[in-house]
A and B are shown apart, each in its own frame.
Chain A
C-alpha cells in the first residue's frame, strides 16, 4: 500500500486539461490533497506460465486474436490488478450531489490518473526486472480492449479478491471500485 505526498505535475495538468489560472490551481491543489487522503492503493500481481494463463482465462484468452498476437512468443504472463478503493469515487459522487461539479470531476479524473500511474509503475518494474534477467516484455493489455472480453475480469477478481478485500465485480464483469485496473503483460525469454 502506498500513500504519500503527490504533487501537481505538468503531466497531471495536461491530463486534467484545466485552465491554469491562480483560482483553478488553488482548487486543484486542494482536491489533490483531498485525493491523497482518500485513496487506498492496493495492488496484486502474479506471474504465471503462458499455458496456465490460457487455462485460467478460458475461453476469453484463446478466442482473442489480440491476445494470441500479444503473447505469441511469451513464456510467462504477469497478471496485475490495482485499485484505489471506494472512498474516492464516493466523494466524487458527493460533490456531484452538492453541485460542486468541477471538484467531483477533478477528483474522478485524478483517480483515473493515479491508478494509471500505479499500474505504470508496476509495468516499469516488471520491464526493468525482466531486462535485468535478459528477457523482453510485451506491452500491457487489459480486458475490454479489442477482442479480449471484459468477462476476463471475473478471473482477475477470483484471483485477487483475497489480497484486495472489498474488491467486487458486477454481473456485467466490471470491477469495483471504479478506479480499478486489471492488466496482463507477457514475458519473452531471451533467444526468441
Chain B
C-alpha cells in the first residue's frame, strides 16, 4: 500500500510533445523522438508516475481499424475495422516504439513508477466496431459483443504484458467508453474483463480510469480487484471516499483542461491546495488529474500543479491524525470533542487556516455531498454545523479578521416577505465555506439592495422569497440593478416560491432548492466568474 502513498502526477504525458520540434504524428512513430520528448518533459516536471505518451487508437489500429494522424492533434480512428486480427505486439511498429521507449525510461528513471497505459477491452471494441454500434449491440446482440470483447481482451493482455516486460512497473487501464455502459451491464461487458486482466498483473500496482460519472459503478470497479481507481474531474471525491476500501487508492482529480491547461497560476494553486486539503486525510489518496492533460497545456502549469500538490501534502502530513480527528468529530456532530481537537491542533502548531480547511470545513463539505446524494437529511448537517462553530470559536482569536475570507455575498429576503430561516441557513453554510456574508434581513426593497451593492461590492446577491406575491419583487430588484447599469453582480434566488423555471424567467444567474445546494451552486458560479466563463 505504501508504494503510492501521497504521490503526485498528471495523467499521460501529452504536453511532452512541446519539447521537440517534430509533430505528434512523428512522435508516435519514432522511438528516438518520443523518448527525447519524454526525457526532457520529465526532467522539467517532477512527476511520481511516468507515462510513455499513449494514444487511444493504438490497440484498435493494431487490430484493423484505420487511424488518422496529424501534426498537432492526437490520432483518431478514421474507419472501423473491416477485418480483425489479433496482433503480436512486438510486430506492431507503434507498440514496438512504446516498448523501446519504456526500456529507455527504465534506464533513465529507474526509481520511478512507469505506467503501461493500455486501453480497456470495451473501449477498443467500440473503436473497432463504432461506439454507437457497440452500445446498440449490448441490447441487440450481446453475444457478438462478448465475442469481440474476448479478442480485445486478448489484445490488451498481450500489449500490457509486452509493456511490462519492456520496463513498465505499473499497469494503467483507461476504459473511457465503459462509462457509457448501463450500470447493470457494466460487469458483464467491462468489469469482468478488467478483473481478468488485473488478476494477471497482481504483482505490480494496477490502476483503472473510466471517464465521466462513475458513481453507479464504483462497487463494480472495486470488484475488478484493481489497486487504484482514477476518478474523472466531474466526480466529488468526498462523496466516493467511503465506497473505496482502504487498500485501494483514490486517485484524482484536478480538471486537466479548465485548471491545468486554461487556469491562471492562482487558480491552479487554489484548486490543487483545496483538493489536497480535503483529501490528504485519506492515506489512500493520490493527487492527479481527472483525465489526460492535453498536449497544448503549458508545461509551467503542469509543474505548478505538481509543486503545489507536493507542498500541500508536506504541509499537512505531520498533522493528519489531529486533523482527521477534528473532521471526524465535526462529521458526527460532537461539538465538545471538536473544540478539544482544535485546541490540541493549535498546540501542535497547526495553522488555523489548515484546521479550518482540512478539519472543520472538510466535514461540512462531506456532509453536504452525502446530503446531495440523499444519504442524510438537513438536521444531520446542522449538527455538523454546530460542531463546526464550536471548533471555529476556539480559533477565532487566532485568525486575522477578514484576511482569509473569500468573496463577499449579500443576502436578503425580498420586500413583502418576512421568512428567514432558509436565508439564515444559506448564510451559515456560506460562512462555513469561508465566504463573507452580509445579511440584509427580511422585507428588503430594491433600494436597500442597491445601497448594499454600492457599499460592499459583492460578487453575488442572493434573494429569498417564500410567497408567490413576494417573488415578483425578485424580478423588480434584478431589473432595478440593470436600470442602474449595474451588471457585474450575479443574482441567485431561492425559497419556497421559486424553482428553476421561475429563476430563469426572473433572469437570475442561479437557483438552488435548499441551503446545502445553494452553497454548491454559489461556489460553482464563483469559480466560473473567476475563469471568465
Listed in ascending order, the chain A residues whose CB lies under 8 Å from chain B are: 16-19, 23-24, 92-93, 96, 99-106, 108, 144, 149-151, 170-174, 176, 178
A17: B residues at CB distance < 8 A? 377-379
Counting chain B CB atoms within 10 Å of each CB, which of A17, A150, A174, A176 scores highest? A174
| Nearest-neighbor residue (CB-CB) of B415 within chain A | A172
Specify which chain A residues have a CB less than 8 angstroms from the CB of B418 in the assembled complex: 170, 172, 174, 176, 178
B443 at the A/B interface (Cβ < 8 Å)?
yes
Indicate if B383 sits at the interface (CB-CB under 8 A). yes
Q: Which residue of B lies closest to A175 (CB)?
A: B418
**Contact, CB under 8 Å: A101 / B377:** no
- Interface residues of chain B, those whose CB is within 8 Å of chain A, are 333-334, 376-380, 382-383, 385-386, 389, 392-393, 415-421, 424-425, 428, 443, 467-470
Determine how close the nearest CB of chain A comes to the CB of B221; give it in whole angstroms: 30
A contact residues around B425 at 8 Å (CB): 101, 105
- For A177, give the chain B residue with the smallest CB separation: B418
A190–B424 Cα distance when bound, in Å, is: 49
Task: Indicate if the CB atoms of B467 and A172 lie closer than 8 Å.
Answer: yes
B469's partner among A104, A106, A173 (CB-CB below 8 A) is A173
Q: Which of A23, A101, A150 has the most CB of B within 10 A?
A: A101
Name the one of B383, B392, B415 contacting A19, with C-beta atoms under 8 angstroms: B383
- A170 and B443 alpha carbons, distance in the complex (Å): 9
Beyond contacts A99-B386, A102-B383: 17 other A-B pairs, Cβ-Cβ < 8 A, are: A16-B379, A17-B378, A18-B379, A19-B379, A19-B383, A99-B393, A100-B389, A101-B385, A101-B386, A105-B378, A105-B421, A105-B425, A150-B468, A151-B469, A170-B416, A170-B418, A174-B418
Contact B416–A172 (Cβ < 8 Å)? yes
Top 8 A-B pairs, shortest CB-CB distance: A172-B416, A17-B377, A99-B389, A102-B382, A18-B379, A101-B385, A101-B382, A102-B386
Q: Of the candidates A18, A93, A106, A178, which one forms a contact with B377 in the assembled complex, judged by CB atoms under 8 Å apart?
A: A18
Does the CB pair B416–A171 fall under 8 Å?
yes
Contacts of B421 in A (CB 8 A): 92, 104-105, 108
In the complex, are the beta carbons of A144 and B443 less than 8 A apart? no
Residue among B382, B417, B419 with the most chain A CB within 10 A?
B382
Flag if B333 contacts A24 (CB, 8 Å).
yes
Centre residue among B377, B379, B382, B420 by max chain A CB count within 10 A: B379
Q: Would you mind naming 15 contact pairs between A and B with Cβ atoms under 8 Å apart? A: A19-B376, A19-B377, A19-B383, A92-B421, A93-B420, A101-B389, A102-B383, A105-B378, A108-B421, A170-B416, A172-B415, A172-B469, A172-B470, A174-B418, A178-B419
Q: Give the residues in chain A near B467, CB-CB below 8 Å.
A: 144, 150, 172, 174
Instruction: Please give the distance in Å from A101's CB to the nearest CB on chain B.
Output: 5
Smallest beta-carbon distance B486→chain A, Å: 25
Closest to A98 in B: B389
Which partner residue on chain A sits nearest B334 by CB separation? A23
Q: How far is the CB of B405 from chain A (nearest CB, A)?
A: 17
Residues of B within 8 A of A178 (CB): 418-419
Minimum C-beta distance from A147 to chain B (A):
9
Do residues A19 and B470 form an inter-chain contact, with CB atoms below 8 A? no
Q: Which of B334, B378, B417, B428 contacts A174 (CB 8 A)?
A: B417
The answer to whether A150 touches B376 (Cβ under 8 A) is no
Contact yes or no, B389 A105, CB < 8 A: no
Please report the C-alpha to C-alpha distance between residue A18 and residue B383 in the assembled complex, in whole angstroms: 10
Shortest Cβ distance from A106 into B: residue: B379
A150 touches B469 (CB 8 A): yes
Please tell me which one of the listed residues A23, A100, A102 contacts residue B379 in the complex, with CB atoms under 8 A apart: A102
CB nearest neighbor in A for B465: A172
